[in-house]
Amino acid sequence: MYEQMVTARYYEERLQEEYLVGKQPAFDISAGPIPGELHLAAGHESSGAGVCIHLRDDDTVTAPHRPHHIAIAKGVDLKKMTAEIFGRETGLCRGKGGHMHLFDPDVNFACSGIIAQGCPPAVGAAMAAKKRNTDSVAVAFLGEGAIDQGGFLESLNLAAVQDLPVVFVIEDNDWAISMPKDRVTDVEDGSRRALGFDMPGERVDSDDAVAVYEAAERAIMRARDGNGPSLIEVQVHRRMGHFMGDAEAYRPEADIERAKQRDSIERLADDLRAHGVEDDELDEIRERAHERVDEAIAWAKEQPEPDPSTAYENVFTNPPAQAATDGGANTSDASSDGDEGGDQ
């Protein structure tokens, strides 16, 4: 768990460095080697590591828009994930998904930028496991800002009605984008949402990977043994803005400083030292993690960018043959209807 957490933290820090290249001094979201938005989860590491340590490749995990620490803990290919974030042809989704839409079927991992979107697919995976009479489980991660979404609540209901092997994990970092938790939801403890669906709910009140591990073990073993769904809320912290480039003018400086003091990685390192692990061993783990991350980023940057013509591949509806050959430059059909056609 410690190695996964250290890997995730360093990975986020390195992505932050790469992302900001070419985007300053006037922030340009489209510039640099990583175009578009980037949402980092530094401070969430205990959640991903403490839960996913109990999972197998055949278990399904869905994650929200801060997915990297969860993906690393689930065993997603780090090089292919990094190539995807850099928009390269050899990425998990051939460079089309970016960092919020990672998909790795080898370890049954997916994520989405849509709030609470991962809950219904996780319930579906759990239903499939039950119908196949396997002991596979599904885990849906979401933020505390998503606990009032219909997709989440309906998923809780279906999971409870069908008694499915799924665990819902709420990562509570106190901020729903720019809004403090108490301004967007009516409960201080999100695990209480479980009460309305007659399923076990538990909250881990601190950034403690061991406590997360213990809570997750109870929930996942319950699901794997055929005893139905559970809900866990984990207190984490946000060490960076909602997205890279977020000035966080809405956030009190004292809250930012408090978050920096709540470091689950240092807490776990102290626990390991208390159990006889030497600093030299911890240093070796960190060095190994850093080398792995640096190698993945260097590899990703060397990968080819997708051919623009592949934009028409792997879509729900293929474009008209003419659009594929001339880029849709011929607009005679649309223009023949005049302004009315344009408005339509």
Asked if residues 144 and 193 have their Cβ atoms less than 8 Å apart, the reply is no
In a domain, residue 311? The reply is no
Give ∠ CA 32-37-43 in degrees, rounded to 5: 110
CATH of the domain at 17: 3.40.50.970
Per the structure, the count of domains in the chain is 1
Distance separating alpha carbons of residues 43 and 237, to the nearest angstrom: 5
How far out from the chain centre does Cα 202 lie?
21
pLDDT in tens, the chain (344 residues): 999 999 999 999 999 999 989 887 878 888 889 988 999 999 999 999 999 999 999 999 999 999 999 999 999 999 999 999 999 999 999 999 999 999 999 999 999 999 999 999 999 999 999 999 999 999 999 999 999 999 999 999 999 999 999 999 999 998 888 888 888 888 889 999 999 999 999 999 988 999 999 999 999 999 999 999 999 999 999 888 888 888 888 999 998 888 888 899 999 999 999 999 999 999 999 999 999 999 999 999 999 999 998 888 887 776 666 665 555 444 444 333 433 333 33
Q: Which domain holds residue 110?
A: 1-304
How far out from the chain centre does Cα 116 lie?
11
Asked if residues 153 and 161 have their Cβ atoms less than 8 Å apart, the reply is no
> Which residues, in sequence order, are CB contacts of 22 under 8 Å at separation 6+?
28, 31, 32, 33
Asked if residues 168 and 229 have their Cβ atoms less than 8 Å apart, the reply is yes
In a domain, residue 338? The reply is no
In a domain, residue 279? The reply is yes
**Residue 262 CA: distances (Å) to CA of 58, 104, 236, 267:** 33, 31, 8, 8
In a domain, residue 309? The reply is no
